[in-house]
Each structure stands twice: as C-alpha cells, then as structure tokens.
Amino acid sequence: MSIKIENLTYIYNPKSPFETKALDNVNIEIKPGEFIGLIGHTGSGKSTLTQHLNGLIKPTSGRIIINGLDITNSSVKLVEVRKKVGLVFQYPEHQLFEETVYKDIAFGPLNQGLKEEEVEQRIKEAMEAVKLSYEDLKDRSPFELSGGQRRRVAIAGVLAMKPEVLILDEPTAGLDPRSRDEILEEIKMLHERYKITIILVSHSMEDIAKLVDRIIVMHRGHVRLMGEAREIFKQSEVLESIGLGIPQITHLLNQLKQKGIVLRDDIFTVEEAKEEILKWMRGEKNA
C-alpha cells in the first residue's frame, strides 16, 4: 500500500494554554513494501504521526492518502482502514486484557467477523511469526509470561489482522538486549516473508540502521532528514546537533578520519567497517 502524507499539521489542545504544535507541515511519501525507520528524539512527533496513519488522530490540517484514498475524509470507514493499517502502540502489552493468549490474539480477527476456524489459523500463523509456541502458550494467561513474550503476544494480535501496513511504535522499548535483537530479527523476517510496508519507530539509530530501506528523521514536529541509511549517516553533524547518535561504528570511522585515515563515510555495519579497515591495512586504500 502506498502512503502519502500531505502538509500534515497537528496541534494538541488548540486555543488553550496547553496548545502544542506536535506536527508542522509534514510531507512524506512511502512506497508499497518499503521498510521505513522513523527516528527522532522524545517529543519530536513520531507517535502523533503514526496515529494519523490509521485514523486514530485527525489532522488539524493536511491529508493522509492511503492507496489513493484520503482517509481524513469523513465518509471513509475507519474500520476498513484499520484492517489494512496495523498499529502496534508503544508498550502494547499494557493493553492485553483477556485471560488467555489465544483470546487476546483472537480479539482483532473476531472483530473483523472472521470465522473461528480462520481465526485459529491466523493465531497460529501470527504466533509462529513472532516465535511463540502455539501449543505451549495458547491457554496461558498473558500475565504469567515474560516481558518479551507479552510484547510478542501484543504484536501477534496486530499481525493476526493481516495488515498490509505494519507500524510499530518503539517495539523494543524497555526490553533486554536479547529480546530486543530477537524482536528486530522477527520484524525483518515479516518484511521479507510478507512484503508488507513497515514503519519502525525508534529513537535508536543502532536498531534501525541495519534493517530499513529508508530513514526519516523527525525533529520538533518537522521532517529534518529523509533518505537511505547511508545518506543519513553522512550527516553526522546534523544528527548530533539534534541529539541523535550515529551508530558507534560510524563514529569510529569518523574518528579515524580525524586522524587522517580517510575511509568510506557511509558505513554503519561492523561487517562493512571490518572490510574497509582491512583494505586499508593491506594498503589497498591510499589513506
């Protein structure tokens, strides 16, 4: 599904002492099947932006066009939009409420009016995608599970609706490094297997750098940078000026450059950096 965000502005509590302009004339186009990393400091407008994409928030001004359909138009049925655009909130496990994992994941598909058989199939598939054992966990209470498992149950609940666009708002927030890496790996698999459009919100460059096709950097309600990861990391000064780190490995290469060892400045994986440094050591680079 294609997504077009046109001149989007959003103001919380307008005309009150608490008025906050959370988004200021944002323009973004996302192609079907793209994997987007949306990054920015706390308060930069990421969550407000994502909540516009399934109609949870209506723009103060501007339009959201999904597959050619302007979803800000009042005649559009948001139920239909939400079938296609799945939003996993930050800390989604706080919204688990059923007595079993099965029932929790079934909630969305049942609401879509699917038959029990189809629902069961979807639950199995969704649990498999996030590496949860259906047989072992379906009858357990979500509240007995570990933090990482609860997070996965919540993600599976959105996957079970088979969205064509999947938005994950800080899906690794608060998890230990191992669960974080596993969940990122599962998200990558989802993109490869189902070719859906994914918008991954994060405030960690390390998390998204190695996964996404394109990065959108938000700052104070504006899009500050937008492009392929390589292009974005070349702008390390801009990133640092708005309080976003670059991946440590990019930082290392910048440090080498200051010492007169000029290697490529668009590297953000350890693997690539290793190659580049080895080349330099073998004298294949005239640094």
Positions in the binding site for ligand ADP (CB under 6 A): 12-13, 20, 22, 40, 42-48
Contact between 17 and 63 under an 8 Å Cβ cutoff? The reply is no
CA neighbours closer than 13 Å in the CB half-sphere of residue 81: 25
CA distances from 258 to 54, 104, 236, 251 (A): 46, 54, 14, 11
SS3 at position 157: helix
Q: How many CB atoms lie within 10 A of CB 3?
A: 22
Nearer to ligand ADP (CB atom), residue 238 or residue 287: 238
Query: C-beta of 83: minimal distance to ligand ADP in Å?
Result: 24
Nearer to Mg ion (CB atom), residue 22 or residue 209: 22
Nearer to ligand ADP (CB atom), residue 149 or residue 202: 202
Q: Which amino acid is at 237?
A: E
| Contact string 257-276 vs Mg ion (x = CB under 5 A) | --------------------
Q: Is residue 47 a contact residue for Mg ion (CB under 5 A)? A: yes
With CB cut-offs between 5 and 8 Å by kind, which of Mg ion, ligand ADP, none does residue 74 bind?
none
Secondary structure (DSSP) of 91-139? SGGGG--SSSHHHHHHHHHHHTT--HHHHHHHHHHHHHHTT--HHHHTT
Nearer to ligand ADP (CB atom), residue 94 or residue 115: 94
Q: Which amino acid is at 62?
A: G
Query: C-beta of 113: minimal distance to Mg ion in Å?
Result: 32
Q: Is residue 250 a contact residue for Mg ion (CB under 5 A)? A: no
Q: Residue written as tokens 């570990």?
A: 146
CA distances from 278 to 12, 110, 223, 251, 265 (A): 52, 56, 37, 17, 15
CA quadruple 58, 61, 66, 68: dihedral sign: positive
With CB cut-offs between 5 and 8 Å by kind, which of ligand ADP, Mg ion, none does residue 202 bind?
none
Query: C-beta of 215: minimal distance to Mg ion in Å?
Result: 17
C-alpha span between 86 and 122 (Å, rounded): 15
Query: C-beta of 90: minimal distance to ligand ADP in Å?
Result: 8
With CB cut-offs between 5 and 8 Å by kind, which of Mg ion, ligand ADP, none does residue 122 bind?
none
Query: C-beta of 266: minimal distance to ligand ADP in Å?
Result: 26
Nearer to ligand ADP (CB atom), residue 90 or residue 121: 90
Piece in contact with Mg ion (CB under 5 A), picked from 47-55, 105-113, 223-231, 246-254: 47-55
Nearer to ligand ADP (CB atom), residue 154 or residue 267: 154
Q: Is residue 50 a contact residue for Mg ion (CB under 5 A)? A: no
Query: C-beta of 46: minimal distance to Mg ion in Å?
Result: 5
Nearer to Mg ion (CB atom), residue 45 or residue 148: 45
C-alpha span between 138 and 121 (Å, rounded): 12
Secondary structure (DSSP) of 2-14? -EEEEEEEEEEST
Query: C-beta of 88: minimal distance to ligand ADP in Å?
Result: 14
Given the rule CB under 5 A, which residues bind Mg ion?
Answer: 46-47
